[in-house]
Structures are given as structure tokens and as C-alpha cells.
Amino acid sequence: MQNYLSHDPASTIEMVHTMLSLQEKAKGTASISSLGGQLGCAVMSVAAQANPDWAAAQMDALINSNDPIVRDDWAGITYDWIYANRMLGSVSTDYIATIPTSSMYVDANTKQVTAVIYNPTETESTATVVHSGQKLLTIAVPANSLVIKSFAVSKK
């Protein structure tokens, strides 16, 4: 989706604040709700890349107030995206898996790395997780399947 946004969280947060500031100038309010359903959901999805706790708090407040934005067709996808980012951590390019349809996440609080690997082929594949040129582990991924594997970041 928008995984590249987690590579520079400060820039992503600045972008979200800029969007809300422009909304305030145009409509007199900088609320997520004032953006409307699809744009509001898109902004929260972007924010989830850099600050999933903030995005989750925004979504929870919108749900608790029964805001119209939560009835938008995109709200369920946005909710899922926010809470997936909150659970998995930030997308990491420091860790890679050798199957190209994979993403690696690092949770800075728990020091967990999570590999989310999809094998779209008709045969089982093996993904190798690599960090700084070193092979860390291999993961068997059945045909047409998604595998999620978490492991601790080694402390040196």
C-alpha cells in the first residue's frame, strides 16, 4: 500500500499536519472528520505509517462519536490498516525476505521483527530473512499462502 511512508516518519507527520492546516484554511477546521470519508480515511492511513497510535486514537474518537466518516466504505479498510500497523510496527528495509511479495516490520517497543510473506505461486517456496547481509532464518511458505512469522531482534 503506502509502506514507503514509514521510511521517513517525520516527513510523513509533517505531510499530515500540512494537509490538516490547508483544510483549516479552506474550511475553518482541521479535523479528520472535516476532510470527508475517503480523504479522511486516506489521511489516517498515511498517518498510521508514521504514528499508528495517533491514527488509532483518531479512529477511536470518530467511532465513539458515531462520526459519518466511520460509515464510509473505506473506514473498515482504514481501521484494519491502522491497527495492523499498530500491532506489527513500522515497515523495515533493514530486514528483507527473499520472496518479493513480502514486507518486514519492526516494533521498536517490543524489539520484534515480523515477516509477512505471501507466496502467489503454485509451489511451496522458501523465504530467507536477511539483515545486514546475514541470513537470519528461513521460512517455508506453502503455495498460494500468507505466512506471518515474528522473531526477536538480536541484541549486540
- Distance (Å, rounded) from C-alpha 3 to C-alpha 96? 14
pLDDT value of residue 35 = 86
| Total Cβ atoms within 10 A of residue 25 | 8
pTM for the model stands at: 0.72
Q: Fold for 92-152, please state it.
A: Immunoglobulin-like (2.60.40)
- Element housing 107 (H / E): strand 102-107
Which residue, 33, 26, 41, is CA-closest to 78? 41
- Distance (Å, rounded) from C-alpha 41 to C-alpha 33? 9
Per the CB < 8 A criterion, the answer to whether 17 and 97 are in contact is no
- Sequence ranges of the chain with CATH classification 2.60.40: 92-152
Whole-number Cα distances in Å, 77 to 2, 49, 72, 103, 153:
13, 14, 10, 18, 29
Which residue, 106, 82, 110, 115, is CA-closest to 2? 82
**Which tens digits make up the pLDDT trace of 90-121?**
888 889 999 999 999 988 888 899 999 999 99
**Which tens digits make up the pLDDT trace of 40-94?**
888 898 888 888 888 999 999 999 999 998 988 889 999 998 998 889 888 888 8
**Which tens digits make up the pLDDT trace of 5-37?**
666 778 888 888 898 999 899 989 888 888 888
